Structure 1
Amino acid sequence: MTLLPFLSVLLWLLLPVPARTAAAARPPHPTITPAPNLKDRVVPRDFDPGSYINSVLDGFGSGVSSYIASGVPQFFQDLPSGEAVESSLGIGDAELAAQPTRVLNLPAYANWTEQGWNVRVHGNVYKQPNISQERLDDLANVFLIGTDIDELSDSEQRQARNMTASIFVVQQGNVNVTIYFESNVDALTDASGGVINAEGGAQELNLPYPTTDQGDFDTFVTLENTTGTGGGYLIPGNSTSSIQALYMYANGTDTGNATAYLVPPTGFTIISDVDDILRVTKIYDPKEGLLNSFARPFTPWMNMPEIYANWSTTIPNFHFHYLTTTPEQVTRNYMEFIYNTYPLGSFDTRPLNFSDVSATLSIRRALLDEIFQTFPQRKFVLVADTSNSDIMRDYPQLVRDYPGQVQCIFLRNTTATDSSDLFPYDTSGFSGIDQKQYMFFVTPDDLRNVDIVGGNCHNPAVIQNTTFGYQGRGFGNEASSAPSLIRRSSWRGNWSKSLLGSLLALSLSI
């Protein structure tokens, strides 16, 4: 696949449009709603959101709608990999072979079994081609819609080049991976949810399978309880409530360093989304989303780091797990931001071997199922935002599929504070779920007075008024104007660009 279909649609949207008469003027920009009053934004009963969405998709043409209708953003489906990178850069096998092998080794979680601690080791093996700055600038400009890299500040140019270079890598298939574990994680003391240093377990393990054709590896390995310095050892999971940390290194590279978190069978685990919940992304606004992802420094969303830090220090042995389905190629930038800003913890991203549309549609749910089934006695806190349709579907379903395991669901209502998020979201999955188990919130401060341990996840000061069905900006108080918007044959202009961003964000798993 190539970026051309996606870019052609965006360029079409950015073209100037002839002046219209007043009758055909662009619809007024929706106002910002100051509080998460979902009742005021419910879709009228005679409005069919399915037909509306399909009509919009049809207007963009089959080249785009086939992805958006399936909930897969066109942009993230078209990142090059493997041979496509070699071909686009014009590099040969000999030139690539001269480059060192690199490893993306993702921070891991481990569960306690009858055989001992079982660590999920996962990541990707790749090579980084040598790309000139001039060529990187050309490649970066493909992503910087409406902006040229020369128009950015020096720091933004560096960010854009680094992000672009991380995308244009060549994955290495059929590679045998060896992981070293070491028990000297001194820097982690009291850094995250009461994590303690493991005092044993140093060893070398060969993964049982080589990497996939896309360079991925993902498997559980069982640790031996080797003796550490001073006679220390790994504390059995059935004898401790503490999370223990081990360093883990990939053999043959200085890039494959990570941490494994040995998580006891009981306790609390938070599974947190990243984009538009931990950092400012605006993925539903194409130009802003791409600039925030490729050029601008990653910026925390409001005072969310303060909220997470408070949870880390007040909830005993709170296991932090970050789950984003952004492509593996850009994961390193995400991890660097997370671990400089939020409590340390394990990490999941979308592996490249989930490359077809049907698999991509279920990747978030597959990763959620894996961690829920790995820790059947732990209770989970789920944090994300309303702009992802897969989250709006999967999170309430997890309450039903894993009775007693979902402690809290916290969803940022992006439409309440961001006028560029126009796409509807569906709350029908929450019908029948106890209100104290979930909360739609607008600012991080709304999370201050929730009682996670006690299971009181709704701050009574945050009014919900939740109705169950399609919600969203432009479909509540502005409902009377919705039909006229639907019937418009021309979709160019600022409103349509924001809508396209929302469509691209449909099921975006970042």
Structure 2
Amino acid sequence: MVSYSTVCILLLLFVINVDNRTLSQRYRLRELWNIITDKFKDTATKKFHIDFRHFDKEEMLLFPDIGYQSLNNDSIWKIMMHGWRYERNRRRDWFGFSASLWVERIAKQLLDEKDILYLNGSINRDRLKPFFVEDESNEKIHIKFDEKIFSFLTDSQGQFNEEIEISNDEIQKLKQQQGGSSFITYEAIGDNKDKTTGIIQLIEPRKGISVISDVDDTIKISEVLDKVRLLANTFIYPFKPVPGMAELYQKWRINNNNCTFHYLSGMPDQLYILTHEFIYENKFPDGTFHMRHFGWAATSIFGFLHSQSTFIHKIAYLRYFLSNTMRDYVLVGDSGEKDPEIYGTVAKEYPERVRAIFIRAIKGEAFEDQRFFDAFEGVPREKWLVFNDPQQLPIDLSRSPKATMG
């Protein structure tokens, strides 16, 4: 067994030797540092009965998710819960340099000189910081749902993505207690007794229309086809809405019975808070968020967004929605990524459930471009529509778009 003095010596040697390391080496050594400090905490706890939980600065982020009645038993609700446990880096860490300066230097290492000139040194450090926190893996999270307690362990990325079952009586009781809305809350409790409130959108009634919308270049201008502009629009400039899309979504919500919204994006969930603020400030309908977690195995945001994993992420969520609910779906995306191919695949698998597909053309391509016919081969022509102005889309979602506009 490693003695307390041995651990202290290892800590001292580590701090002395790290001073001359390069920035990239420092980042790689951070994981080793965490292992050593965890060992130090374990040894000190056992030897001196010190509870280090009081000194940890861990936080938790809960992503709004869905709840739906079981297809086989309407007295049971299935609730999806997605959260992220992490620890923020201190302003000045053990290595003796500013964390905010560190994240900016890392970001600029990803760009060449021309890109840096375009960015003009104005990277928003606050937007970068969520990418440089420490994921807290294998941590126990307790979920308090009314009077019931559920416990989960976080995965290697500090995340948990779990499904629980709650009786319909308990759901109706919670709704009544919380004002009768289809949005209900729950509480997540970390190992430091810290508490965070999460939101669940109940998909009710069973019948209705659910709009599943991409975010980047569908409702928010991101310019995903240009690496530098994508970085600038993500980390420098204020998020800008696609003109007219918020108004369209609100008209859909008001004019179509039981219409819910769900934002399905390939962008990192480290940007969730900013994305949620964008939705709120630009008056898009409230909804759930389904994003991906960025890890440093990815070479860049551009590569992350355009990877095969984004295709898999989106199609998996679409299949989950369609296979677990009785609703009809309207799918909205753009031509910058693989949305036409993803939506076409799902529409052929669930031909009676996908009511309409709307694709925003962002590359100046013709609405009758062969790519769209290839992507939607086997999907009735009246079900899909390519647009570049939201006013080209129908308000009534109860029928196929061509029938409505005809």
Q: TM-score range by the shorter chain?
A: 0.7 to 0.9
Corresponding position of 2:6: none
CA 1:228/1:426 → structure 2, altered by over 3 Å: closer, same or farther? closer
1:67-99, Cα deviation, whole Å (9 max, x unpaired)? xxxxxxxxxxxxxxxx99563699656499844
Asked if 1:218 is matched to 2:155, the reply is no
Q: Identity of counterpart residues, as a percentage?
A: 23
| Equivalence map 1:194-213=2 (5 Å) | 202-207=146-151, 209-213=152-156
Out of 114, 120, 124, which is 1:151 matched to? 120
User: TM-score scaled by structure 1?
Assistant: 0.59
Secondary structure of the structure 2 residue equivalent to 1:414? coil
Q: How far apart are residue 319 of structure 1 and its match?
A: 1.1
1:329-384, Cα deviation, whole Å (9 max, x unpaired)? 2233222222333111111112469x897655522111111111121x21000000
CA RMSD of superposed structures (Å):
3.6
Secondary structure of the structure 1 residue equivalent to 2:218? coil
CA 1:149/1:294 → structure 2, altered by over 3 Å: closer, same or farther? same
Out of 63, 70, 84, which is 1:124 matched to? 84
Asked if 1:381 is matched to 2:330, the reply is yes
Unaligned residue ranges in structure 2 (runs of 5+): 1-24, 42-51, 92-97, 299-306
Q: How far apart are residue 328 of structure 1 and its match?
A: 2.5
CA 1:149/1:352 → structure 2, altered by over 3 Å: closer, same or farther? closer
Q: How far apart are residue 429 of structure 1 and its match?
A: 2.6
Higher strand fraction (1 or 2): 2
Out of 335, 339, 342, which is 1:394 matched to? 342
Corresponding position of 2:133: 169
**Letter of the structure 2 residue corresponding to residue 151 of structure 1:** N
Counterpart CA distance in 2 for 1:143 and 1:99 is 31
| Equivalence map 1:181-200=2 (5 Å) | 181=145
| More RCO (CA 8 Å, sep 6+) | 1
Secondary structure of the structure 2 residue equivalent to 1:399? helix
Q: How far apart are residue 180 of structure 1 and its match?
A: 3.3
Q: How far apart are residue 304 of structure 1 and its match?
A: 1.1
CA 1:150/1:459 → structure 2, altered by over 3 Å: closer, same or farther? same
Asked if 1:104 is matched to 2:73, the reply is no
**Letter of the structure 2 residue corresponding to residue 362 of structure 1:** I
| Equivalence map 1:387-426=2 (5 Å) | 387-389=336-338, 391-416=339-364, 425-426=371-372
CA 1:314/1:150 → structure 2, altered by over 3 Å: closer, same or farther? closer
Q: How far apart are residue 261 of structure 1 and its match?
A: 0.8
Contact residue 142 and residue 149 of structure 2 kept, 8 A: yes
Counterpart CA distance in 1 for 2:209 and 2:181 is 11
Asked if 1:258 is matched to 2:198, the reply is yes
Counterpart CA distance in 2 for 1:322 and 1:277 is 11
Q: How far apart are residue 271 of structure 1 and its match?
A: 0.4
Corresponding position of 1:348: 290
Corresponding position of 1:278: 219
Corresponding position of 2:278: 337
Contact residue 140 and residue 161 of structure 1 kept, 8 A: no
Instruction: Tell which deviates more after alignment, 96-105 or 315-324.
Output: 96-105
Counterpart CA distance in 2 for 1:294 and 1:231 is 38
Counterpart CA distance in 1 for 2:66 and 2:400 is 24
Corresponding position of 1:371: 321
CA 1:397/1:365 → structure 2, altered by over 3 Å: closer, same or farther? same
Counterpart CA distance in 2 for 1:139 and 1:90 is 19
CA 1:136/1:243 → structure 2, altered by over 3 Å: closer, same or farther? same
**Letter of the structure 1 residue corresponding to residue 327 of structure 2:** R
Unaligned residue ranges in structure 1 (runs of 5+): 1-82, 182-201, 236-241, 462-510
Q: Say how many residue pairs are matched.
A: 340
CA 1:90/1:337 → structure 2, altered by over 3 Å: closer, same or farther? farther
Contact residue 410 and residue 440 of structure 1 kept, 8 A: yes
**Letter of the structure 2 residue corresponding to residue 371 of structure 1:** F
Q: How far apart are residue 248 of structure 1 and its match?
A: 2.6
Contact residue 78 and residue 163 of structure 2 kept, 8 A: yes
Secondary structure of the structure 2 residue equivalent to 1:276? coil
Q: How far apart are residue 459 of structure 1 and its match?
A: 6.7
**Letter of the structure 2 residue corresponding to residue 116 of structure 1:** I
Counterpart CA distance in 2 for 1:309 and 1:99 is 43
Contact residue 189 and residue 195 of structure 2 kept, 8 A: no
CA 1:231/1:135 → structure 2, altered by over 3 Å: closer, same or farther? closer
1:434-491, Cα deviation, whole Å (9 max, x unpaired)? 22211000112212x3431123357758xxxxxxxxxxxxxxxxxxxxxxxxxxxxxx
Instruction: Tell which deviates more after alignment, 119-128 or 273-282.
Output: 119-128
Corresponding position of 2:235: 294
Counterpart CA distance in 2 for 1:424 and 1:286 is 26
Counterpart CA distance in 2 for 1:459 and 1:227 is 37
Contact residue 358 and residue 387 of structure 2 kept, 8 A: yes
**Letter of the structure 2 residue corresponding to residue 257 of structure 1:** T
| Equivalence map 1:309-348=2 (5 Å) | 309-341=250-282, 342-348=284-290
CA 1:337/1:230 → structure 2, altered by over 3 Å: closer, same or farther? closer
Out of 373, 385, 391, which is 1:439 matched to? 385
